[in-house]
Each structure stands twice: as structure tokens, then as C-alpha cells.
Chain A
């Protein structure tokens, strides 16, 4: 997924300048566009940085920034051919270390991704994490994510326990193998109405939000791009049928957001305690009005079917209540009371 180009803050710009100089030293004569591609910047951002580097330096013995105290570049090559050739170097020899928080963010990110088949080699990941730790200017901050536990990377002192593997790991491995071999994936899927169907899918992208993982793929049954929750997939196998759609194909539109509103969605008015609002954020459409009412917030949620709504509301007892329409209230009431009836 292409990241949106964001305006850089001064700290980002400084990190970029300190990173660009050593790269330019190793890539003498690199073009502006090559640098832009490598760093994920625009050519204008590269030019601006090079122009700043070219006039920067140290106060020097005279305290007055003499010519020999400044970086310099071959201006002709830069202005005429967009090539970056540094002709005088000052102060910087090598890439900077990571900060404690930067290293922590990458280490925690690696832990989180431990279910990915790319991460299967635990020894390699452990060595990568230790390199990040050693490459930080101080001890990485204490931020951790469960994945490391799920795959047994954490050594809890003398106590070595066999930990249960993450059940989505085999599915992730199958998805990757399907793309690697160019063949379709076949799986059982429980759709949002609760029906189980055998689907054939061309995998396009794997996405996740916290502990929930999703496959975006071209569904040959629906003949459209669909999102599949990994924990609703069972009996996945690789077929002999070649993949027909790939990410980037002109007829494949992969929306940036995971949950796309559909014109068939149902709108339901609910009341929810304020602290639970973040849990419902995915269901609240943009521009929905929220009104405070007796310490509760009255707002609108959008759902594809009451099948999902009744489960959502029943998992937030006393916290969220459906106000309207009456058919939605009845669906939740009937779901909860038939659940309670099992115990009588």
C-alpha cells in the first residue's frame, strides 16, 4: 500500500538529513529520482535537502564557516543532470543510531508480526531484534506485543514452557504459498449472514488490526474483491487453478479502508456509555451525529445485517443498547433471550 506523502516535521527533516548524507557518500552520482525512490520522498524534497546540505557545515577554526568547513556538491551536475556528487564532506561519516523509542517500535512491530510465514525463522528474528537493540543509542523502551509469546520467543527465565501456536499461522502460510505458486486458494467461509460457503479466492493482500487478521482477495463466487476474516476461514487448501487477479491489475480495486460502507447497509440508532465509544468506531459512519443523553451517547451505527448487530450488542451488555428501529431491537432481544433459554 502506498503511504500518503505527509509534510515532514523539523525532527523528521533532521533525521532525513543525517540519513541522506551517508547514503549519498555510498552512492556517488546518484540521481535525484533514485534518491527519492529509495527514501520514499518526492524529488522536490530530495532537492531541498541536497541544497541545504550543500551550504551546511561547521564553524571551523575561524568560527566563520569558511569554504573548507562546508559541504559542497558539484553544482553543474546537480543543476543540469539532476546528479548528486558530494565534493566536500564535513563531520559525518556514518549512519546514525536508532533512538530508544525507534528501536522499541521496530522490535514490538516484529513481535506483532511473528505469525507471518516470513517470520518463521525465530533464531533470525531474535538476532534481528538484538541488532536493533545494539544499534540504539540507549536501551529500547519497554513496549511489547503478544506475538512473541505466541511463538515462544520469550524466554521466561529458567521456565521453558511449550506455548500454543497461533492458529492463524498455517492459514497465513497457505495464503503466501498460494500467491507464490500462482494458484487459487479454496476455503470455507462464514459470511456476514452466518452462511457457510466454499469459496475460491485469488489472494491480494493480508491486513490486520490488533489481534484480528483479514485476507483481501478476489472472490470467484462473488466475482469481486472481498474481505475475509482469518478466524472465520476453515478447511483452506491450495488448488491447481491458476490465479486470475493480482493486486495492481486494472480490474482490481483494493479500497484503502477495510470496512467499506455499502448502499445496502442498515442504519441503527444506539445508546452507548461514552467510554465504550472507541470500541464502536468502525461501525459509526463519517458525519454521524452523537448526542449526550442521560450520561450515554446516542449515535448511529452502520451494519450489513442484523446477524452482526445482535452479536455486537450482546457482547456489550449494559454498555450499548439499540434504540431504533424496532426490528433491530427485536433481533437483539430474541438473540439474547434464546441464549439465556439454553440454561433453563
Chain B
């Protein structure tokens, strides 16, 4: 059962066989293989290699394969030949075993495996579904059998914002992005050019944390953009040096600080949809107020992170909610209700 070297078989070597053979060959070599050695000897390339001829197509294939393998988390390393740095004909490729293998001291219990299965299930749609599928394959490789869950869960994060995919890919490659952003209350979207730092979901909405380009990496002011307000396509520019740090945690903490400072007081009809849902919202406090209790109402203090989204939500509750403060929120909700009434008159 040795692989057929005949040229006729060349087109029949499946992609995964070529990639698998490349990983095996590079894992097995200590000193590394040159590009020419790879193309002329590794299964899937060697069948198409022409010795002394033009291998430009095959070289391009190898470049794409390298990217695919690295995307899977396989650390493909390049070593310059001594005294011949930068020459890509003498450069050697290898996969260092220590950087390839999961460290020996990392293991997962049944409980942890159960949780990780759930965590992967969250990304059933969108660009991270492939990532979580492959992460689970690697997890199963360790042989741990998850616990039978007590109750079934089907959690799901949605990636409906068209901007998510291009931003997440730019984030990965540290590329500058450009997009048109429509701020509420402005007539036209304005073009933004920023360095993406993190994508975070806060209160069900995706936000981009980014740095303005002017200052250079690590220096520009940081801003947060709501993905649903990005209008039209996201384009990418040049790569910048990665600005290290836990930007996702910082962005979430920043939004949480805004949320904490944002306070509104409302009066709601007891046991209405508004009362039930606003009380079940994180951070809502019931305020003592005998004067409204007799009228079958109660007062609540709410937290919010985006004034326009809050005003939209409160307007949806119609007469079940009366905004008490702040005054601008009162005005914003009145304007919304009047607009809806007029649009349907």
C-alpha cells in the first residue's frame, strides 16, 4: 500500500492528504526542509514537481498551504540559512514539536469538557463556527468523555452584523480598517479609519474597540463603535505592529463603567410587560414610592449604556412606562412616541 508516484495519480492526491503529509514531514525534521526539498519529496507536491522545470504554480500552492496550516494553530517556523539570511531558496521550514503539541500539564476534566462543549456550541453560526468545530476535535483528541448534562442547553451568539467577519479577520492580521459610521442624530455616515483592538458583545450587541490611526499603535485615542451603526463595507489597509494587551477585557470594563454611570428613573405599570422585563434587567433597583403604589404603579432605577437604544426600548413599552429622569431621556421618548403615532395616523 505505498503511494503511487505516477504522474497520473497527481490530481488524485486529496488536499487533506497533501496538508497532512506536509505537517508530518515538517514535524519529523529537526533541521528543517528547504522549499525545494518539500516540493520535490512531500506527498501531494512531488507528483506535480518538475525537476529543473518551472514550479511556479506549485510554489504558490505551497504558500497557500502554509497559511492554511498556520490558521489551524500549527506553528510553522522558518529558519534562515547561516550567512544567507532572507534568501527564500535556502530558507528552511519546520514545525517545532514543543510549540506544536499541547503542553503535557494541560488536561481537561469531564466537567471542563462539558463546559467547553457548551462554549463551542455558542458559535453555531458565523465565522467562528469553524473555529469552535476544530477546537472541539482537538479537545476530543484528549479522550475525555463529557458528563451527561442534567438539562440540555442550546446557547447561541448571533453574528448578524455584516461588519463582524471583515473586522474579526482584520483584527487577527492587525490591519487598519476603514468604514462609514452613522452616529445617531447625524444626517450622514462619516468615514472612520481605525486600528481594531477587540470585538466585544455587550448587552446583546457587538462593539468594536479601536484606536484612531493618527497617534500610531498604542498612542491614538481609543473609541468604541457599535457594529450595527457601521454602514456599507469594511475595507482594510496596511498592517500595523500589534499593540499587546487584554483589549477585550478593557473594552468590556469600559462599557461597564459607562453602564454604571448611566442612570434613569422610570415609573411602570405593575405586573405589565414593562415592569416584568425591566425588573429582570441587570442592575435594576425598585424604588420605594407610596404615592404611585396606590395608582398600581412602581418606580424603578435603570442602568443604560447607549442613550438612543434605551430611548427606543422605553418607547416600545408605550403607556406602560413614564420616564421621570433625566429630562433629555423624557424628551427623547416623547419625540419617539409622537413620531410613531404620526407615522401611523
- Give B135's nearest chain A residue, CB to CB: A102
Whether the Cβ atoms of A206 and B135 lie closer than 8 Å is no
Q: Chain A interface: which of B51-59, B68-76, B78-86, B214-222?
A: B68-76
Asked whether A143 is an interface residue with its Cβ less than 8 Å from the other chain, the reply is: yes
Chain B, residue nearest A110 (CB): B119
Given contacts A144-B251, A196-B271, A333-B345, contact A116 B153 (CB under 8 A): yes
| A95, CB-defined interface residue at 8 Å | yes
Given A15-B138, A144-B198, A313-B340, check contact A99 B71 (CB 8 Å): yes
Is residue A112 within 8 Å, beta carbon to beta carbon, of the partner chain? yes
The reply to whether A15 and B102 form a contact with Cβ atoms under 8 Å apart is no
Question: Which candidate, A50-58, A79-87, A259-267, A284-292, is the interface stretch facing chain B?
Answer: A50-58
What is the distance, in angstroms, from A39's C-beta to the closest C-beta of chain B? 5
Given the known interface contacts A54-B1, A142-B198, the answer about A11 and B130 at a Cβ–Cβ threshold of 8 Å is: yes
- B148 CB to closest chain A CB (Å) equals 12
Q: Which of chain B's residues have a CB closer than 8 A to the CB of A244? A: none
User: Does more than half of chain B's interface fall in helix, strand or loop, or is it mixed?
Assistant: helix
Does A253 lie at the interface of the complex (its beta carbon under 8 Å from any beta carbon of B)? no
- A7 within 8 A of partner (CB): no
Query: With an 8 A cutoff between CB atoms, is A337 at the interface?
Result: yes
A96-B100 in contact (CB<8A): yes
Q: How large is the interface on B (under 10, 10 to 19, 20 to 34, 35 or more residues)?
A: 35 or more
| Residues in B neighbouring A199, C-beta threshold 8 A | none
Q: Are B337 and A337 in contact (CB under 8 A)?
A: yes
Contacting pair B153 A207 (CB below 8 A): yes
- Known contacts A65-B3, A142-B247; A96/B340 CB under 8 A: no
Beta-carbon contacts of A132-175 to B below 8 Å, as 1s and 0s?
Answer: 10111111011111101110001110000101111110000001
Residues of the A chain whose Cβ atoms lie less than 8 Å from the Cβ of B149? 118
Assembled-state Cα–Cα distance A147/B203 (Å)? 9
User: Which residues of the partner chain B approach A156 to less than 8 Å between Cβ atoms?
Assistant: 249-250, 253, 256
Q: Is the CB of A112 within 8 A of B201?
A: yes
Q: How far is the CB of B74 from chain A (nearest CB, A)?
A: 7
Contact A12 B341 (CB under 8 A): no
Task: Give Cα distance in the complex from A92 to B153, angstroms.
Answer: 35
Residue of chain A at shortest CB distance from B24? A91
By beta carbon, the residue of chain B nearest A335 is B318
For A108, what are the chain B residues with a Cβ–Cβ distance below 8 Å?
119, 122, 128, 157, 201, 248
For B5, give the chain A residue with the smallest CB separation: A64
Judge whether A52 and B3 touch: CB under 8 Å.
Answer: no
- How many Å lie between the Cα of A113 and that of B155 in the bound state? 8
Query: Are A141 and B316 in contact, with the CB atoms below 8 A?
Result: no
**102-131 of chain B: CB within 8 A of chain A:** 102-104, 106, 108, 111-112, 114-116, 118-124, 128, 130-131
Q: Mark A36-72, 1 if CB is under 8 A from B, else 0.
A: 0011100000000000111111110001111100100
A339 at the interface (CB under 8 A from B): yes
A196 nearest CB across to chain B (Å): 6
CB of A26 within 8 A of CB of B137, answer no
Q: Could you tell me if B283 and A164 are in contact, using CB atoms closer than 8 angstroms?
A: yes
Residue of A nearest to B124 (CB): A3
Q: B190 at interface (Cβ–Cβ under 8 A)?
A: no
Chain A residues with CB under 8 Å of B197's CB are: 142
How far does the alpha carbon of A278 sit from the alpha carbon of B145 in the complex, in Å? 38
Is B223 part of the binding interface, using a Cβ–Cβ cutoff of 8 Å?
A: no
Q: Which B residues are closer than 8 A to A by beta carbons?
A: 1-3, 5, 14-17, 19-21, 23-25, 27-28, 40-43, 68-69, 71-75, 97, 99-104, 106, 108, 111-112, 114-116, 118-124, 128, 130-138, 140-143, 145, 149-158, 160-161, 168, 171-172, 182, 197-205, 209, 228, 231, 244, 246-253, 255-256, 260, 271-273, 276-277, 279-284, 303, 312-313, 315-319, 321-322, 330, 333-341, 343-345
25 contacts between A and B (CB under 8 A): A9-B130, A19-B138, A38-B145, A55-B1, A58-B25, A59-B25, A92-B24, A94-B101, A95-B138, A96-B138, A97-B99, A106-B120, A106-B135, A108-B128, A113-B119, A116-B118, A136-B73, A145-B200, A154-B253, A164-B282, A179-B151, A204-B151, A232-B277, A317-B339, A332-B340
